[in-house]
Structures are given as structure tokens and as C-alpha cells.
Homo-oligomer: A and B are copies of this chain.
């Protein structure tokens, strides 16, 4: 199989982890006789430094012309304390989501039994945590009209959803539920928001076509509690953009190993794959970042290419490193391996 991949290193530890993921993809290509060709592109702070723009037009062009995008991380503290800065790394992220119409952000959250001790919550060992979040990524209050009045004394944001925007991600979420434990939880605020009522109505309509899927509705405030109190209850969580931002970050710390978590952002043509962790600039260049989030994102990319067997091989290799203590400093601060070593070990196993 031949695939063209736009590879975006991004900021902080981005380059280091993307390189490991590419190494793993190359190993897969060699063993299973595929050809993956990379085109490098810029995004975020690295793009601002090089071109003045957070999302250069070349990056969009490259991505649109590729089968998938592999992204490291975006963001630099240099920009953090100035919310009024006109050019910000995050614009690159929001821009590429819109340009590629990446409407579904998919985040699996899974605890690894051997790492339960790392979790900040007391996970009931028997159940563990294994769910997947579908967050709408190109609509809602993120992309609605926003303005400040002339004298700067009032501001407005608009949250808008059209039914077809809800339907397309809902279909993906229901299909995922069918492949899993057949439970879908819609997180909304239907007791207050008109858009949430549209989400609920739309999901109720689609649910009819998936009689095997048990559908539950949870207000977002309750969801924020349930994620801590009883995360084992979830299978597929579906939610709108802003709630998804909050809920998925909350969920990502449950496992205690943020560095392990991958994500996929699905659009109409090109999809984007990136680890959940941020750019973590303090660790940049030290070869200590956890490459597993990026490597499992590459595994999601293989799934997306239809290469399920190859994806499983990557996941098994990752599992093997975790079980044998070949882990980075974030997982074991005493007996740890370097980013590149963990990458090498995974490649060797494959």
C-alpha cells in the first residue's frame, strides 16, 4: 500500500515523538511491504517563527494532498500570557481543523493494569477504564460569530449547530459503539441549551437505526463527576466541541499516563493523528518525552488506512514495552529508558 503522510513536528517535544512514530511506521512499511512517503510541513509556534503565520498555506496544501497528517504538538509558553496577541500557535490548530473539516476528534482512554498505580484516582482494579470519546471539532462556540462591542465593555460568543454537523459525527460514534460494548453516552446540557436539545433530538432519531446500542444522556456537569466517580461505566462518549474539550482533558488524566494517549481527528478526506499530550517545552530536546502517545496515534492511522493487522502489531509491541518496564521517565522516574530507545525497542519487537 502506498500512502502520503504530511508530517508536522510542531513545538516542544513534538519533533522527538513524531520521529519515533515515523520510525515505527517505516518498520511496519518494511515488514509488511508498504510505502509511506512523508512531506514535512509547519504549524504552530515553529510556523510563526519561520513564516509569521501559525498555519502557512503550504501546510494546508500539503495536508489536503496527503492521505493523513501526523502531528506532534502545538503551543509554546511564550504566547501563553498574552491572549490578545494577534498571531498565536493555537490558531494553527483551529485553522487546520477547519481547513481539513476534521469534524470528529476521537480519543480512546484506557487504563493499563500494570500502570494503575499512576492514576490520580482510585480505579476499581476489576473494571479499569476503557472508553472512547467522540468530540465534535469544527462547530459550536469555537467557530460561531464572536465580537466585542466598540468601547470594549461587552463581548459575545455564539454557539451554533446544524443538524447535519451532529449527524456525521453521531454516525461515527454509533458505528464505534457497535464495534465495542454497544453503549453510547451523549453529554450535553439539554436542560439549559437550545443546541443541546438539537443534539439530543438528533441522537434520538439516529438511535432508532441502531436498536442494539443503549443510549444514555448525561448533563455535562454530571459527566464531569461521573468520570471521576465511576469511569468504568462509559463505552462511547459523544459530545459537542466545548464540552468535549473539557471532558476529554479531564478524562485524559484518569489513567495517570497522559503520555500514552493517542487521538485521531477525522474529516471528509485527510485525517489527522496526534498524541493527546501537549508540547511540554520543559522536556524538549532531552530525549525523555513519552513517544507512546505518538506511536499509538500512528496505530490509529494504520487502522484508518484499513491496515488493522499492522495496527494490532504496533499495539502489541507497545503493550510489550509497558509490561516489561521499557518505559520513559514520566512512567518510571527511577528506571527509565530514553524516548529514542523506547522507539527502537518497539521497532525491534515488530
Q: Using CB atoms and an 8 Å cutoff, list the residues of chain A in contact with chain B.
A: 81, 83-84, 88, 90, 94, 119-122, 141-142, 144, 146-148, 152-164, 189-198, 200-201, 217, 220-222, 224-225, 227-229, 242-243, 245-250, 252-254
Contact = CB atoms under 8 A, between A and B. Distances in A.
22 contacts: A83-B197, A90-B191, A120-B229, A121-B122, A122-B122, A142-B192, A146-B194, A146-B195, A152-B198, A155-B161, A155-B197, A155-B198, A156-B158, A156-B160, A156-B195, A158-B158, A189-B242, A220-B246, A221-B246, A224-B247, A224-B250, A225-B252
Nearest to A119: B122
Complex A-B, nearest 8 residue pairs according to Cβ-Cβ distance, in ascending order: A83-B190, A155-B198, A146-B194, A224-B250, A221-B249, A155-B194, A153-B163, A157-B159
Contacts of A220: 245-246
A111 B253 CA distance: 21
Contact of A224 (B154, B157, B249): B249
B195 A157 contact: yes
Given A122-B121, A159-B141, A163-B153, A148 B249 contact: no
B154 A163 contact: yes
Nearest to A154: B162
A192 B90 CA distance: 9
B161 A154 contact: yes
A246 B240 CA distance: 14
Given A94-B192, A122-B120, A191-B88, A148 B197 contact: yes
Q: Give the residue among A152, A157, A197 with the most B Cβ atoms within 10 A.
A: A157
A223 B225 CA distance: 14
Contacts of A227: 250
A225 B200 contact: no
Contact of A194 (B120, B157, B224, B247): B157
Q: Give the residue among A90, A94, A152, A249 with the most B Cβ atoms within 10 A.
A: A249
A282 to B, nearest CB: 15
A243 B246 CA distance: 9
Contacts of A153: 162-164
B253 A225 contact: yes
Given A155-B160, A193-B146, A198-B154, A229 B246 contact: no
A84 B249 contact: no
A234 to B, nearest CB: 15
Contact of A154 (B121, B146, B160, B217): B160
Nearest to A163: B153
Nearest to A151: B163
Contacts of A192: 90, 94, 141-142
